Structure 1
Amino acid sequence: MKGYKKLCAAMLLAGLPIAAVQAQEQVIRVYSSTIEDRFGEDRTQPSSTVSLSREEIEQQHAQNLQQVLQAIPGITTDQSGGEDIKIKIRGVENQRYMGEPPGVVIVIDGVPVFERTGKVNIDLDNIESIDVVKGGASYLFGEDALAGAVIIKTKRGYAQQGVSLEHERGSFGYERSVLRAGGGTDNLQAHVQYADRSSDGFYALGNSWAETLSGNITWYPDEVSDLSFGFEKSDRYRDRSGSVKGATQAATDPEGNTASRDYTRNFDVDLERLNLAYSRELNDSLSLHGLVYQYTDDTSFWSGPMSYDGTGARTIAADDYKYDTDYSQTQRGLKLELNHSGDRLGTLLGLDLRRDSTNNAVRALRDYRTFSRGATTAAGTLLSEDEGQTDTQALFVEFKYQLAQDTTLTANARHDRIEVEYRDHLSDTDADKAFNVNSWRLGLTHDLTPGSTLFASASTGFRTPTLSQLYRTDLGGDQAVANNPNLEPEESLTYELGLRQAFNLGGWPSALSASVFQVERDDFILDTSGQYSPNSASHDVTGEAAIYDNIGGTRTRGFELQLTTELHQDFAFDLSYTWLHSVFTRYDDFYQALGNPYGRFGYVDPAGFNDPVNSYTLVHYDNTGNRVPRVSPHQINARLHWFGIDNLKLTTEVDYRSTAWADEINQEKWAGRTLVNLMAEYNLRVGSGEQDNIQLFMRIDNLFDKEYWVIARGVNDSNGSPATGMEYDGVYNAEDLSIIPSTGRRWQAGVRYRF
C-alpha cells in the first residue's frame, strides 16, 4: 500500500489528466519483450530507456563497451582486462567488487546471459544495437535485474550486405582486424564475420586477445513469418587486470612490474552461442514469437597467489599460484511470446523455460604450503569438484491500455519458479532449494504535446540466494560460517518520474530525456562477519558462527539528464549528467581486520594490538548511513561534433567523474578526474555501389595524459597480502587499497573498406 501511494502521488505531480480526456481509437501495441527490439522510439515506455544503433556504436571506434556506454547517464563500468567489463546502473552493487553479479541483466539476442562474474563477454564488432533499460526489470528478465538490463542484439539483415574489411592499430600493441561478407535475395539473407583483436596491454602481464567467428541466416518463407539462425564462436584470453597495492605503488609503478599479482590470472575462455528465432503474424493484430538457444562458456584460470612453495620457502614469483580452475557452463532454453494489438488495449503473454548447468573443478597448480611449516599440497591434487543445475520456469504478462487520448497505462507481472540443485563429488554432498518469486511494474505515460511525454513508474527486481550462502558449512566445509536455509531473495524497488521532450534549441533540433528516481534495495545478503572480513570474525567476537543473512540495505536517489542534438551550422552536441546520492540504510556489523588474518586472533582491544605480522585484531563499524563506495555523486559527459569539411567528422569528448569513497567505512577517497578524448572520421566514396566507401578514423583517449585511478577498493589492512610479499603493519590507510591506475594517453587509428 505504501508503494501504491507513492506512485499515485508521482502521477498527480505529473498532472496526468486521466479522466478529463476522451479516449480516441488508436492501435496500442505491446512489442516482444526480449526476442525482438521493443524499446527504440516507443513513446509509451514508462521507464528510462536509451537505445544505441549499429551506426552510433561503430562511429565511436571503441575498444570496449565502457567507451560505448560512458555517455549514458547512470551507467558505470568495471574493466578487468581485455574487453571484459562489468556494467552497473545507478550505483547498485558498487559496494561489492569481486565475483558477484552486478545487479544488471545482460540480454544477448533475447537470452539473459549468466556470466560467472557478471562480466560481459561479447564480440564488440557483432553488435547491431544496444538498449539500456533502467529500474527494476525482473518483470521481463527475471533473476538479477535489480537495477536494469542491457539488451544486445547481434547483427543480421540487409545492413550486412556486401563485403567489409577493417584494420586498426593503437597504443600498447593494440591490433584489430575484421572481415565481413553478406548478401541474399528477397526471402533469404545471410552474413558471416571474422574478428580478431589483440593487445600487449599497458599493465605487466596484461596481454589479451580474442578471435570470433559469427554470423546469421534469416529466411522469410512468406510475407508474414521469418526464421533466423544466429551463431557466435569466440576464443578469448586475458591475463592480469592491472591492479596494484596502495597509493605509493600506483604512483611509482602503475604498470605493476614489481611486487604485484592479481588474485586471479591467466583466463582462457571459450564461448559459443547458438539461437533459432521464429516470428509469425497470425493476423493483423496477433503475432507469435519463439526462441530456442544454447549458450556455453568454458573457462579456465589461475587463482590464489602462493605465500610458500612446496618446501616452505617464501615465494612472490609471478606464476606461483595455488589453484587451477576449470569451469564450464551451459544455458539452454525456450521462450514463447504471444502479442496482441488492439484499438485501446495491447497484451503480451510469455513463457520462459531455462536450464543452466555448471561444472567446476579446482586442482593444485603447483606444490604449495599454506604456512611455512606443515603439509605440502602436491601439484595436480584435486581440491574440489562440483556441479550445479538451475531450472527456471516463468510466466510473464504485459498490458498496455489507452486510458485517454494521450495517456497510456502499462502493467507488467512475472512469476518465476527457480529450482537450484548442487552436488559436491568429493564429499558426496548435495543440496537443493526452490524459490517462487513475483515481480512487477506499473507505469503511466502522458503526451503533453506531440513532442513531449511525461512518464512515471514503479518496478521491482530480485536476486535469489546462492547455495553457498544457504549451505556454507555443508557445501564448503567452513565451520566458521553456518548454514542458513531461511535466506530470502534480495529485492529492489525503483520509483521514477521523467520527461521526454523534442524541441528546438537555438536552431538545433534537440531531444531531452530527464528523470528523478529512488532505488530501495532491501534484504541484500551479507556475511554477519562483515563483507570480505575473515570468516571467523563473528565467532572471534561473539562466540557464535557467522551466517549469510538478509542484513543489508541501500537507498539511492538521483537525477539523470540526457540531451542530444542534430546537425546545425556544422555542429551538433550531446550532454549527459547524473547525480547520485547512495547510502547504506542497513549495515550494522562490519569487522575490519588489522594485521595478518591468517595468524592468530588474540586482541579484543585494538588499542593493545602490537603483533600485526603474526596475529590480527578486529575493529567493529556500523556503516548504516555511510555513502555506498565507488558511487560518484556527479558524472558529466559532453560531446561536441564538427562537420565543417565535407565527409569529415571531428568529435571532442569531456568526461568528468567527481570524488567518491573507496571503502565502506568512508575513510579513503577515490579522487575524481576530468578526461578529454578526441575522435576523427573521414569517409570517401569509391566505386559506383551505394555502400562503396573507404573510411579513415582515429581516436585519442585521455588527450592530456592525466594520471588517475580507474577504480579503487579498500576493506582491511591488506598491504601484507601474499600477492605482494610485504608485511602487515596493523594500520588501514591508502596503502591498503587495491587500485587500477590509468594507462595514460591512448591512441588508435584504422581504415574500413566496404564494397
Structure 2
Amino acid sequence: MHRFIHRATDLRFIRTPLAAALASALAFHAPVRAEATLPAVEVKARQDAATLHLDEPGTTGSRTGVTARELPASIEGIDSTTIRERGDHTVMEAITRATGVTGVGAGGNGSMSFSTRGFSGTNSVGLAEDGVRLSTGAGTQTYPADSWGYERIEVLRGPASVVYGSGTVGATINAVRKAPSRDTSAEALLGIGTDGTGRVGLGGSGALGENASFRIDAYGHTTDGQRDLGNANGSKVMSTLHLQPRSDLRIELLADYSKQKPERYWGTPLDKGRIDSSLRKENYNVSDSIIAYEDKRLRARVEWQANDWLSLRNEAYYFEANRHWKNVEQYSLDSTTRTVDRSDYLEIKHHLEQTGNRLEAGIRSAQHRAVVGWEVATVSFRHTNNAPYGGASTVAARNPVHGVWGSPDPTLPKFDTRSHLNALYAEDAWQFSEKWLLMAGIRHDSAKVSRDELVSGTDFDKTLHGNAWRLGLTHHLTPATSVYAQASAGHDPVTSIITMNLRNRDFSLTKGRQVETGIKQSLDKGLGEWTAAIFRIDKDDIITRDPLKPALSVQGGSQHSQGFELSAALTPWKNWRFEGNYTRLQARYDELMEAGGVDRAGNRPTDVPEQVANLWAHYRIGPVQASLGGRYVGKRYADNANTVALPSYAVADAVLTWKHDNRTTLRLLGRNLTDKVYATTSYGSQQLVLGQGRSFEVVAEVKF
C-alpha cells in the first residue's frame, strides 16, 4: 500500500544457554473417543492443570482432522479462556504470546502484520478466519482485529501453502469462531481503564426450533489513547446460524460486519539513530487525519455425510473491505532546532470485493484420513490515491501545532485489478501402523491478474503458478510421547498478488523450503505438556539487483532462517501454573544486492529478532488468582544494511482475578508495569512505532 510495504543446516548457534523454557497454552476442547471394549476409567485431572491440548483435532494445521500430537509440524494456539485470563482483547495481543511470533503492525499494513521464523509481513505470514483467507491487497490486512467471538487463535509455523496457498512461508494465523449451540447461554464483558478506555462484549447462543441453533457476538471499544491524537474506536457483529435438517446434513450461514478507526499514529522519528523517550506521547499527524476500515463478510457452508467413508463439504463466501487513509506519514527530527519536518501527505482508498468457493471431499478408512479439494475466487480491487503525495510542513518537536491536511496532488482512482484465483489440493494422513503416521499433501495454485491503469493506460495481464507439498512422519514412542520429521515447500509473492504493478509484472513467485524435526510430550501425573522443534527454511528468488546493472531489479536473491523453539505448560505444584515459550533464531540473507551494487549478504532481514520469550505464572488461593506475565523480544533492524537497530525490550504484565461465583469474574489488568519505552516495529528506516506505556483496566465477565 504505502512505499515501505515493499521493502523489501549449521545449528551451532543453538548451543547458547536458553533464557526461558516454558510455553503458551494451546487450544481447543473436543470429546476424547474411547474403545468400546475397554472398561470405563475415571480420570481425575488436577485442578487448573496446564495443557497444550495435544490430543485435540483441528483444521488449522491440516484439513484431515489430525490432532496436534499427530501432526508432523509445529502448531500452537491460545483458547478463549486463556485470552480472557490474560486480558488480550486483540488478535495481535493474543497471538504474540505464541512461540516466536512478534507483531510488526503499523498504520500502513492495517496493523495486522507479523514476524516469525525469520520472515515478516503480510506476504510471508498469512491471516485467516476459520481457515479462509481474504486476499491481501497492497500489503494490507485489517480483519480479524478483535479477539472477542473467537474460540481460539492458532498459528501454524513454517510453510503452510498446502493448506492456505501463497504468502505463508513463515506461518499462518487462523482465528477459529465460537460455534452455535442448542444449549442456551450468554456472556458479557465490560471493561473500563486508564486513558479513557472502555469496552463491552456480548455473546449468546441457543436453539431455534427443532433443527437450528444460533450464535451472535457483538463487541465495541473506545479509548482516548496515550498520545496526542490517540483516540481510537471500533465495533463488530458476528452471527452464525446452524441448520441440521437431517442427521447427515449440516448447513451454516454466517454474516459479519466490522468498523474500525485505529489510532492515527505513524511512529516517532529517531534522534541521531536513537529513541528520544521525551517524545513518547507526541504525534506529528494532522488534526483532521483519517484511518478507517470497514469489513463485511457473508459465508455459507454445507456438509453432507454421504456414507461411512465419504463426506462432501462446500463453502461459498463474499468478502468486502473498504479502507481510507488521509494522513501525514513521514517525519524527520532536526536535533538542533528541535523541529520535525513532515512530508508524504497521503490519501489512499481501497475497495476490495472477493467472492469464492471451496469444494472438498473427505475420505476416511481404517488407515486413511484424506481430503481432496478445489478452491476458486474472484477478487476485484480499486486503488484510489493522491500520488505522488506532495506536501510538506515543519512543526515543533514538543507540543506541535498539528494543522490540517493539504496536498497539491488530487485524489483520483489510479488502477483497478481483477484476479481469478484457482487451487487444487490433496492431503492424506496414513496410519500405516499403530505407532506410525505418514502425512503427505500437495497443492497447485494459479492466479490470473488483469490490471487496468486508469491514468497511465499501461494495462497488463499476468498469470502466476505455484506448487506446494508437505511430507511428514510421526512416530509415537509411547502414548504420551511423539517425535516427528517433515519436509515442505511453499511460495510467497514478491508483492501482494492482486495489486502487482508494472514494475514487478515479470516476477514469479518466490520459493520456500523447510525441514523440521521435533518432539511433543505429555508428562506423568498431570504435570503438563511440552514441545520442541528444530527447523531450517530456505527462500529463493527474492528481489535483488543485477550485478552487471545495479539499477535493474531481478529475481535471484536468497535468504534462510534456522532455529530452535521450546514451549510448555506446567503445573508443578498445587495452585501453581506456568506457561511459556522460547525461540532462538538465526536469519540471514545469502544473496542480496541493493541499489548502487551494495552487497547485503550475511545481514539479517528487517523486523526479525533472534530471541523471543514469553512466560506466565499463575497462583490461585481459593477464588483469587494472581498472574504475572513477561515478554522479551530481542534486537531487530529497521534496514537491510543493519545500521538502524530497534533495541531489545522486556515488558511485564499482571492480572489479579477474583472469581465471585461460577457466573461472575472480576479482573484487574496491568500492562507494561515498568512503563518501558520500546519500539514494536519500524516505519521506514528513521521512524519507529512505539509500544504502549503503562495502563490499568478493570474488567467484569458475566455468564448467564
* Aligned ranges 1:384-403 → 2 under 5 Å: 384-403=413-432
Among 509, 513, 518, the alignment partner of 1:489 is 509
SS at structure 1 position matched to 2:237: strand
* Aligned ranges 1:227-626 → 2 under 5 Å: 227-247=251-271, 250-255=275-280, 257=282, 260-261=284-285, 266-303=290-327, 322-363=345-386, 381-466=410-495, 475=502, 483=503, 485-504=505-524, 509-526=527-544, 528=545, 546-566=551-571, 568-591=573-596, 621-626=598-603
Give the Cα–Cα distance (whole angstroms) in 2 for the partners of residues 702 and 306 of structure 1. 27
Which deviates more, 409-418 or 150-159?
A: 150-159
SS at structure 1 position matched to 2:86: coil
Give the Cα–Cα distance (whole angstroms) in 2 for the partners of residues 159 and 187 of structure 1. 9
SS at structure 1 position matched to 2:122: coil
Q: Deviation per CA, 1:529-572: give whole Å up to 9, x if none.
A: 9xxxxxxxx9xxx8x68444214321101000001124741111
Instruction: Say if 2:661 is the partner of 1:681.
Output: no
| Corresponding residue for residue 133 of structure 2 | 112
Give the Cα–Cα distance (whole angstroms) in 1 for the partners of residues 485 and 363 of structure 2. 24
1:744 alignment partner AA: G
| Corresponding residue for residue 602 of structure 1 | none
Give the Cα–Cα distance (whole angstroms) in 2 for the partners of residues 701 and 674 of structure 1. 12
| Corresponding residue for residue 245 of structure 2 | 221
Give the Cα–Cα distance (whole angstroms) in 2 for the partners of residues 566 and 181 of structure 1. 32
2:257 alignment partner AA: K
Gaps of at least 5 residues in structure 1 are: 7-28, 94-99, 308-314, 371-376, 476-482, 530-537, 592-619, 686-691, 716-736
Distance 1:215 1:673, change over 3 A: same
Report how far residue 400 of structure 1 moved.
1.8
* Contact 1:203/1:256, CA 8 A, preserved across alignment: yes
Report how far residue 176 of structure 1 moved.
0.5
Give the Cα–Cα distance (whole angstroms) in 2 for the partners of residues 549 and 680 of structure 1. 55
Give the Cα–Cα distance (whole angstroms) in 1 for the partners of residues 496 and 124 of structure 2. 18
| Corresponding residue for residue 640 of structure 1 | 617
Distance 1:180 1:361, change over 3 A: same
SS at structure 1 position matched to 2:527: strand
Distance 1:571 1:159, change over 3 A: farther
Instruction: Say if 2:167 is the partner of 1:148.
Output: no
Distance 1:739 1:233, change over 3 A: same
Give the Cα–Cα distance (whole angstroms) in 1 for the partners of residues 190 and 219 of structure 2. 10
Gaps of at least 5 residues in structure 2 are: 1-8, 11-54, 332-338, 394-405
Distance 1:355 1:35, change over 3 A: farther
* Contact 1:227/1:276, CA 8 A, preserved across alignment: yes
Report how far residue 378 of structure 1 moved.
7.5
Q: Deviation per CA, 1:16-35: give whole Å up to 9, x if none.
A: xxxxxxxxxxxxx9988569
Distance 1:672 1:471, change over 3 A: closer
| Corresponding residue for residue 718 of structure 1 | none
Report how far residue 367 of structure 1 moved.
8.9
* Contact 1:452/1:500, CA 8 A, preserved across alignment: yes
| Corresponding residue for residue 727 of structure 1 | none
Report how far residue 440 of structure 1 moved.
0.5
Distance 1:198 1:182, change over 3 A: same
Which deviates more, 393-402 or 41-50?
A: 41-50
Q: Deviation per CA, 1:448-468: give whole Å up to 9, x if none.
A: 000001111111221235599
Distance 1:521 1:681, change over 3 A: same
Q: CA RMSD in A?
A: 3.5
| Corresponding residue for residue 24 of structure 1 | none
Give the Cα–Cα distance (whole angstroms) in 2 for the partners of residues 428 and 674 of structure 1. 51
Instruction: Say if 2:228 is the partner of 1:169.
Output: no
| Corresponding residue for residue 399 of structure 2 | none
TM-score relative to the length of structure 1: 0.76
| Corresponding residue for residue 206 of structure 1 | 230
SS at structure 1 position matched to 2:163: helix
Give the Cα–Cα distance (whole angstroms) in 1 for the partners of residues 83 and 244 of structure 2. 28
Report how far residue 365 of structure 1 moved.
12
Distance 1:160 1:426, change over 3 A: farther
SS at structure 2 position matched to 1:240: coil
Distance 1:49 1:305, change over 3 A: closer
Give the Cα–Cα distance (whole angstroms) in 1 for the partners of residues 469 and 701 of structure 2. 45
- Tell me the matched-pair count: 629
* Contact 1:30/1:340, CA 8 A, preserved across alignment: no
Give the Cα–Cα distance (whole angstroms) in 2 for the partners of residues 265 and 495 of structure 1. 46
2:514 alignment partner AA: T
| Corresponding residue for residue 670 of structure 2 | 700
Larger Rg: 1
1:388 alignment partner AA: T
SS at structure 2 position matched to 1:85: coil
Percent identical among aligned pairs is 20
SS at structure 2 position matched to 1:703: coil
Report how far residue 152 of structure 1 moved.
1.3
2:536 alignment partner AA: Q
* Contact 1:519/1:556, CA 8 A, preserved across alignment: yes
Among 668, 683, 689, the alignment partner of 2:644 is 668
Q: Deviation per CA, 1:103-133: give whole Å up to 9, x if none.
A: 1121112311224334342232121222211
Relative contact order higher in (CA < 8 Å, ≥ 6 apart): 2
Give the Cα–Cα distance (whole angstroms) in 1 for the partners of residues 609 and 169 of structure 2. 19
1:162 alignment partner AA: S
Give the Cα–Cα distance (whole angstroms) in 2 for the partners of residues 159 and 580 of structure 1. 46
SS at structure 1 position matched to 2:559: strand
Among 606, 630, 636, the alignment partner of 2:607 is 630
Among 743, 746, 752, the alignment partner of 2:692 is 743
1:84 alignment partner AA: S
1:270 alignment partner AA: E
| Corresponding residue for residue 105 of structure 2 | 79
Distance 1:708 1:159, change over 3 A: farther
| Corresponding residue for residue 10 of structure 1 | none
2:280 alignment partner AA: E
Distance 1:39 1:176, change over 3 A: farther
Which deviates more, 739-748 or 451-460?
A: 739-748
Report how far residue 381 of structure 1 moved.
2.9
Distance 1:429 1:49, change over 3 A: same
2:133 alignment partner AA: P
SS at structure 2 position matched to 1:119: coil
Give the Cα–Cα distance (whole angstroms) in 2 for the partners of residues 30 and 676 of structure 1. 31
| Corresponding residue for residue 197 of structure 1 | 221
Distance 1:328 1:712, change over 3 A: closer
SS at structure 2 position matched to 1:253: helix
Q: Deviation per CA, 1:630-664: give whole Å up to 9, x if none.
A: 3222222111111122x222211121223333432
Give the Cα–Cα distance (whole angstroms) in 1 for the partners of residues 213 and 576 of structure 2. 37
Which deviates more, 555-564 or 337-346?
A: 337-346
| Corresponding residue for residue 119 of structure 2 | 92
Give the Cα–Cα distance (whole angstroms) in 2 for the partners of residues 306 and 50 of structure 1. 37
2:541 alignment partner AA: D
